[in-house]
Every structure is written in structure tokens, then in C-alpha cells.
Structure 1
Amino acid sequence: MESAADADENEVAESEMPAVSIVVLATGTTETLDAHLSVLLTQNYEQPYEVIVVGVKGDLSTEDVIGKYSVDHKNLYSTYIPQRSLFISKQKLSVALGVKAAHNEWIVLLDAKDRPASSMWLRKMAAKMDKDTNLVLGYSNYDSEAKPYYRFDRLRNECYLLRKASRKTAYRTESGNFAFRRSEFLEQDGYLGNLQYVGGEYEFLINKFARTYGSRIAVSPEAFVIEDVPTKKAWLNRKLYLKSIRKDLERTSAARSLYVADLLFMYLNYIAIIAAAAYSGLTMNWILLGTSALTLILTITSRILSARKAYRKFEADLSLWTVVFYEFSIVFHKLSVILRYRMADKYDFTTHKL
């Protein structure tokens, strides 16, 4: 598990940080919006910034929350999507309307169920917004109350994706904690080319607008975002939606090659050790058996040490002793997603239903 830990340390001077628009997607998440708005509106950021909440028209509870905070915060704005949208998902329509309503070039995208880990979050994100950059990707993981495997899976995927973004060209993201340029979104027609998918509102933005060496990552703890505990259905749906859009994401083969190779060699290593141990036991070759046991111990130790580095960097409250078991289970979780996707009605993944 590689953490992309020290990939990008240079920061923009505080006086040169840009004005920022924070677009918050709030479709059916009134309670979390109420809980998280106060953190967004009290960021320690010296440059101008605005918070734009995109809700559903007629959602009185969302309007009440916005009304409550707008009294003391003149930088809070709102816009609304219709209750029913044709040929585009509510999330993508929300992003599009939020971008159009924004007054600043740099836009940070969040869901209402996401909350910054600190009041320095916006400053740490903006510190990466220089003139040569068009995307800034931050780290996000689930609340500590979420299932440990969910948090392990998110962390592992984020490590690969952040590494990819810091090395050359970003591929996609696991969360909404990222920034992009408003002008590029408008000039390149936003989601045009992938409107037919229900999911992918985050993935397609990164995949479409990523430029070679144009992405930076913000991985200091102050830049982290914490996502509310997902239900099992929500966690699984995210996997299924990713499965449905992956074929239309650019650079998929190159981006997944390291991930697949790491998994393959890890499993082959364990299979070879187990096979050698079994053979040595049957043939009573005690030297080979001892060598196999030592190799297994060294392999497990190396996996734990690698995970510990990532856990410390991203402040993951996960047991190191579960790493091996979680890594073993990855293939079974992926097989489960593949089977569920194949059995699912493909119209569930598209907005273009005939």
C-alpha cells in the first residue's frame, strides 16, 4: 500500500491564494447539511470565498437550514434543481448549476455528507492552486464509526489515485474533496459525453479535465475531509456505479495496471508460499518448511509495515493486524460486485431509459 505521502510539498503563498467557490451538493441530506455548514462557513481563509448550496426545489427543510445560516454569513448562496430531471442525474445537474452560479474561477466540490477535518481545510486546498494547476485532489475517508473494511478500502484506493495524480495525470477520485477551474468546465461543456450515466459525477470531472502534470494533491491532515457513515447499500451502489462507467473513463488500463499488478503478485506470493509449505510437509522436507514459514512471516511483516506508513500519514484508526485479512478479501469483494452488476438491471445505471 503506497501512500503518495510526500509527492507535493510546494505551496502557494497565502497572499497569492485565489478566491474560491465551495459548491455543496445537498440532495436529500438536510440533517448533515445543517451539521456541516458551520464548518464550511468558518474556514480560516483570508481571501474571499463563498459557499453555494445546491438543493432540490421545494425542499423546505433545506431552505430552512440555508435561511438560518445566511443571516450571519453573507457569503452563503443557494440554487435549486427541479424535483425531476430528465436525461441527467440530479448530482450532475447540481454540479452544473453550482458551477454556473459560482463567482470565482476555482471551485471546490463537496457533498453535504462531507465535512472538513479542520478550519484550515480550504487554506490547505488553495495552497495548491497555482497558475500551472487545473485540478487539486484532496484526501477523504469515512467517519471512524464506519465499518473498518470500508475505511481500509477507501484508503487503499485513495493511495493509488493520489499517487497517479501526483506523478503525471489524474485518473479519477474516490470522493468529492477536489477543486477544478470554472472556466474549463464551461468551455468544455461540463458533463457532455457522459450524461447518460446515473453515477460518475466526481469520476468524470477528474477524468475529463485532467492535464498532464496539471494536477496537485493536498494530503496534509488539515486538508482531509470526513464522509458520514455510509449504509451498506450506499457503499455497494458506489461500487456498482463505478463498474458501470469504468469502460468510458480514459486512461483506465494505464491507471489500473499498477493496482492489478500489486494484487496479482501479492496473491501469487501467498500461493507460492502455501504450495511450498504443503509440499515440504508431504515430503517431510523440514528445511523447505522452515524457509516457507520464514518467508510467510517476512511477507506479512512487510505488508504491515507498508500499511503502517499509510495509516500514520492519513491518520487511519485501523488495526494493523487486520491488513492481511482485508487484502485477502479484496478479490472476493470485487467478485461480489461483478456478480451483482451482471445480475442488475442495466437501466438502473442510465438516465436515458427508453
Structure 2
Amino acid sequence: MINIDYNSAIIIMLSFGGLMFIIQLFYFLGPYSRMLKCSKQQNKLQENDNCPPLSVIMVTKDSASMLKENLPAILEQDYPEFEVIVVNDESSIEDENILKILGHTYQHLYRTFIPKTARYVSRKKLGIAMGIKASKYDWIVITEPYCKPTSKNWLRNLSRNFTPGTDIVLGYSNYESEKGLFAKRIISDMLLLSMRFLGRAIGGSPYMGIGRNMAYRKEVYLSHKGFHNQLPLLRGDDDLLINEISNKRNTKVCLSSDSIMRMPLPESKKQWKEEKIGYEVTGNHYKGYTRVSNSFETWTSLLFNIATVALLLTSILCKEWIIAASAFLLWILREAIAMTIFIKTAKAMGEKISLYFFFYDIFRPLYSLSLKIGYITRNKADYMRR
């Protein structure tokens, strides 16, 4: 017969749960809280007069409706001198027709195309490279046809950070607010991802960017030989490039309310999951410890919940009511801190997800596990150039 020393078990679980609690506080009171503070500071700044000329570049493929809806909002930015270069990747005739029509109205819209003969290279990377080569200006702003700025001052707010010594500016993007649990889930997921990578960048440890709302100098792109180090991969035109060229001195973050990019929800859950798995692929190539650190936070949140439940059950069995109450209060405190930071950050960035984060926070380790399983079970050739 096995003799169980419940007192020893309680002490071990209490110590372990306390350690997980401290780790969670480190993340939420540290990197994850920086985005909120930065947003508040930048919204108090006066109007920006630092507006060097810049080139906005995007690659389109069968995105005629998105171009028609979103491109005018970029072309009509309140900015003294800029050009918009759209690179057409073998799209249907509708894309070209929309670009021709808009070109008659907006003289600063330029278009080019990726040759059909181009093979054995990521066409997205080739398109961006062609756009950069065709650009006239030193500062390059990268976005997508399905993205729409929330303000006519989007470029002005980005350019506020185009200062000497700065080579990269990272902005915030997220999905349009819609009803339904799936919408709330992916908006919460994108916000937490942003709290991670933008918070790290604010703290001097940039490790990635998202190619819907970011800028960099053409000079640093060329000196790095563009996407030379990522040629075997289909993805990586945004996060891997920033991972390779960024450092604590040359990267800034733009988080004012006028600098936000919005995009429609994915057409299906499968499409969203494919995109997430794609970032799992490129994430394995990140330099430094940040990817491990992010995973560590996710799994310590799960371990904290498990330790709390185990401690509650054991304490109740042993009728240790004070320990049971302490464990429950510790869990409440962790959730209150996490919820407060997340909800305030969501409000600052214009997100309408209210209390859904409570459920997202509990289940996100399972979401993460499903993505890792999806990545492991996929044919790695699906993510390599052909």
C-alpha cells in the first residue's frame, strides 16, 4: 500500500505554483505591459513635421476587390512626398484594370509585375525586391493589399520615428472587429503576439516584424543583401528579415492610434491556421532566445493553472482551508493582473474583445500545442521554394 505524505505534496505544489506565479508576473508586468505605456506616450505627442519622402510597397495577387477598397486610403495619405508601388504577381486582369483606373487619378501610384518566367524563388520576396529596386526613396514602407490604415496620418506617424540611427520602424496591425468567437479569438491572438514582439522591441530586443505595417531603410536592406539568407524558404519576407537586421539601437516602434492597420478576417479558420503554421516555420530560424522565452511564458501559464487546481484539490482533501484559499487568491491575482494589462492594451489599440481574454488566456496553451502538432505533421517541402 502506498503512503501519501499530503503535507509534503502541498509544500511542493505551493512552491512550484509560487514560482510559476512569479514567472507570469515577470512577463505581464515586464514585456507585455510596454505596448500600453508606449501607446499612451505617443498619443500625447504633437503633430509630426519630420516627413522624409518614402515609398510604400505591396505585392498583389488576385486582390482586385481589396485594392479597390483599400488602396485609395493609402494613396490619399496626408503626407508631403511619397510614392506607392504595387507589384503584380500574375494576377487576373481585374487587378491590372483597377490599378490602371487608380493610376489616372493618383499620379504617385506606380505598378510593375513579376515575370511569369521567374522560378525557384519566393514570388513574394521577389515582388518586394522588385518594388524596392524600383523605389526612388530611402525609406521603404511595407504593407499588403488587404490592409487599410485607420487614419490619413498613418504615414506621418510612422515617419515620426525616421530619425538618425533608426533603420527599422515596427507598427501595429489587427483584424476588423466582428461578431463571433473565432473573430475574438484571432484578434486576441494577434494582440498578444503584438504585445510580445512590439514589447520586446520597445525594451531593446527586437526579434520580428509583420509585413502589414512596418518600414525600413533601403540602405540597410541592400547592405544585408535583401533576402539572400532566406532564399530556400517561401516565407520570411517580414519576420525573418527583421530578425536578421534589427538590434536594440536601430529599431523603433510606432503605436499611436493613427498608426494602426486593419485587415478583414480570414476567409476560413484553415487559412488563419496555415498562416500561423507558416510563422512556426520561420520562427525556428530566429536568432537569440526570444522564441524559447515566448514558449516558456505560454507553458508556465498552463503549469500555473495545473498547479493551482492540484493544490486546491489536495488542500481540500486535507482540510487545509487557509492553503486552499491562498491558492485560489493567488490564481485570482494572476488573472486580474493579466486581464487588466490585456484589456487596457486592447482599449488603447481600439480592440473590442472585452472579457474574452479570460477564456483565451486559459486555452491558449492548447491552441499553441495544436499549431506545433500541425507544423510537425506537415511536409516541410510545403514551406520551401520550388
TM-score w.r.t. length of structure 1: 0.92
Match of 2:19 in 1: none
> Would you say the 8 A contact 2:50–2:162 is kept in 1?
no
Q: 2: CA distance between counterparts of 1:22 and 1:83?
A: 23
How far off is 1:112 after superposition?
Answer: 0.4
Q: What is the aligned counterpart of 1:30 among 64, 67, 88?
A: 64
> Would you say the 8 A contact 1:154–1:174 is kept in 2?
no
Equivalent position amino acid for 1:215 in 2: T
> Would you say the 8 A contact 2:141–2:214 is kept in 1?
yes
How far off is 1:273 after superposition?
Answer: 1.9
Q: 2: CA distance between counterparts of 1:69 and 1:30?
A: 12
Aligned residues: 348
> Would you say the 8 A contact 1:116–1:224 is kept in 2?
yes
Equivalent position amino acid for 1:328 in 2: I
Answering whether residue 340 of structure 2 is matched by residue 305 of structure 1, we say yes
Q: 2: CA distance between counterparts of 1:114 and 1:285?
A: 55
How far off is 1:196 after superposition?
Answer: 0.9
Match of 1:244 in 2: 281
> Would you say the 8 A contact 2:168–2:217 is kept in 1?
yes
Match of 1:147 in 2: 183
Q: 2: CA distance between counterparts of 1:207 and 1:109?
A: 16
Instruction: Classify 1:58/1:155 alpha carbon distance in 2 versus 1 (closer, same or farther; 3 Å).
Output: closer
Match of 1:324 in 2: 358
Q: 2: CA distance between counterparts of 1:249 and 1:299?
A: 30
Equivalent position amino acid for 2:124 in 1: Q
> Would you say the 8 A contact 1:134–1:214 is kept in 2?
yes
Answering whether residue 136 of structure 2 is matched by residue 100 of structure 1, we say no
CA-atom RMSD, angstroms?
2.0
Of Structure 1 and Structure 2, the greater helix share is in 2
Q: 2: CA distance between counterparts of 1:37 and 1:174?
A: 19
Instruction: Classify 1:309/1:257 alpha carbon distance in 2 versus 1 (closer, same or farther; 3 Å).
Output: farther
Q: 2: CA distance between counterparts of 1:114 and 1:61?
A: 18
Q: Deviations over 1:32-80 (max 9, x none)?
A: 11100110111111x2101111112463211111111111211000010
Equivalent position amino acid for 1:134 in 2: D
How far off is 1:31 after superposition?
Answer: 0.9
Match of 2:124 in 1: 91
Q: Which 4+ stretches in 1 moved above 6 angstroms?
A: 10-13
Q: Which structure 2 residues correspond to residues 7-156 of structure 1 after superposition, within 5 A?
A: 7=38, 9=41, 14-45=48-79, 47-57=80-90, 59-83=92-116, 85-145=118-178, 147-156=183-192
Instruction: Classify 1:58/1:284 alpha carbon distance in 2 versus 1 (closer, same or farther; 3 Å).
Output: closer
Q: Deviations over 1:263-306 (max 9, x none)?
A: 34333332232122101221233333333333333232222212
Q: 1: CA distance between counterparts of 2:90 and 2:324?
A: 68
Q: More displaced, 183-192 or 212-221?
A: 183-192
Match of 2:250 in 1: 214
Answering whether residue 270 of structure 2 is matched by residue 233 of structure 1, we say yes
Q: 2: CA distance between counterparts of 1:263 and 1:340?
A: 17
> Would you say the 8 A contact 1:13–1:127 is kept in 2?
no
Equivalent position amino acid for 2:371 in 1: V
Match of 1:290 in 2: 325
> Would you say the 8 A contact 1:167–1:213 is kept in 2?
no
Unaligned runs of 5+ in 2: 1-27
Q: 1: CA distance between counterparts of 2:161 and 2:367?
A: 35
Q: 2: CA distance between counterparts of 1:323 and 1:57?
A: 40
How far off is 1:213 after superposition?
Answer: 1.3
Q: Deviations over 1:61-102 (max 9, x none)?
A: 111111111112110000101246322112111111111111
Q: 2: CA distance between counterparts of 1:5 and 1:168?
A: 16
How far off is 1:24 after superposition?
Answer: 1.6
How far off is 1:324 after superposition?
Answer: 2.7
Secondary structure of the residue that 2:234 maps to in structure 1?
coil
Determine which structure has more spread, i.e. the larger CA radius of gyration: 2
Equivalent position amino acid for 1:279 in 2: T
Instruction: For CA contacts below 8 A with separation 6 or more, give which structure has more relative contact order.
Output: 2
Q: More displaced, 336-345 or 213-222?
A: 336-345
Match of 1:259 in 2: 294
How far off is 1:128 after superposition?
Answer: 0.8
Equivalent position amino acid for 1:155 in 2: L
Instruction: Classify 1:275/1:166 alpha carbon distance in 2 versus 1 (closer, same or farther; 3 Å).
Output: same
Q: 1: CA distance between counterparts of 2:49 and 2:373?
A: 52
Instruction: Classify 1:198/1:263 alpha carbon distance in 2 versus 1 (closer, same or farther; 3 Å).
Output: same
TM-score w.r.t. length of structure 2: 0.85
> Would you say the 8 A contact 2:283–2:291 is kept in 1?
no
Match of 1:349 in 2: 383
Q: Deviations over 1:108-136 (max 9, x none)?
A: 00010111111111110011111210000
Q: Percent identity?
A: 25
Instruction: Classify 1:283/1:219 alpha carbon distance in 2 versus 1 (closer, same or farther; 3 Å).
Output: same
Equivalent position amino acid for 1:5 in 2: L
Q: 2: CA distance between counterparts of 1:116 and 1:131?
A: 26
> Would you say the 8 A contact 1:24–1:111 is kept in 2?
yes
Secondary structure of the residue that 1:157 maps to in structure 2?
helix
